[in-house]
Amino acid sequence: MAQTPLYELVGVSLTIDDATILDRVDLTVPGEGITVLLGPSGAGKSMLLRLLNRLEVPTGGEVRFRGEPLADLDPLALRRKVGMVFQRPAPFPGTVRDNLLVADPDATADELAAALRDARLDAAFLDRAADELSGGEAQRMCLARTLVTRPEALLMDEPTSALDPDARHRLERTVRRLADGGRPLVWVTHDLDQAERLADTVVVLIGGRIADAAARAGFLAHDGAFGDEGDDPGTGGTQEGETHG
């Protein structure tokens, strides 16, 4: 029996201040593994990710989460089901424990420790000052803060862009473990090497549109560079991404 997709986007457009950010995007995101949204800077990847958590609302078309239109779902309930980790870690003042309790004030010490373990941090970090963590530790703490609410899925917006290579690979291994444990992820990057390491499914976005086969091949063949700004990335109808493996 086919698994219900995590997300379906049908004719989704997004216009902000008369600028078209996304243009008639048709996309199916699988309900398992890591789906990487890949494309050059300014392609609309982060805005598409924000649509999935209702941080933005489409100006056209429909987004569905596990078959239900997002417009019918309570945004706060959705955000508990779908956690989001942003590009740069944003610790709050206080200890790591204080930071995790922001996500769920009723969480027990065992639940906080479990969230840290899932983010590959030791429970001893609970009493560390959040502003004394390294960049990689702070980003994994932010991941743990998201995991405290026990989300069904995760959205990751270039979460390693500010990290050094060692911290980047540690976080990649962490999310791979989470995905293999049954928690699907959508990961935004413009780094082809990272996409190759992480992706079960790759979706290439260029100029606010899902790239067709030719544009996708050109983008990948040129190490992420895509022609002139006026080039048309093309569309390929409903896209489900190409699955690696």
What local confidence, expressed as pLDDT, does residue 222 receive? 74
| Burial annotation 73-87 (CB, 10 A radius, 16+ → b, else e) | beeeebbeebbbbbe
Token digits for 186? 């959508």
* pTM of the shown model: 0.86
pLDDT tens digits, 122-178:
999 999 999 999 999 999 999 999 999 999 999 999 999 888 899 899 999 999 999
pLDDT at 234 over 60: no
pLDDT of residue 239: 45
Residue 169 exposed, middle or buried by CB count within 10 Å (0-12, 13-18, 19+): middle
Per-residue model confidence as pLDDT tens digits over 80-117? 999 999 988 889 999 999 999 999 999 999 999 999 99
48, pLDDT greater than 90: yes
Instruction: Please report which confidence band the pLDDT of residue 236 belongs to, taking 50, 70 and 90 as the band edges.
Output: very low
| H-run or E-run covering 187 | strand 185-189
Q: What does the block give as tokens for 22?
A: 């996304």
Give the pLDDT band of residue 233 (cuts 50, 70, 90): very low
Going from the N-terminus, what domains does the chain have, and what CATH number goes with each?
Answer: 7-243 (3.40.50.300)
What does the pLDDT read at residue 6?
A: 97
Residue 78 has pLDDT above 80, yes or no: yes
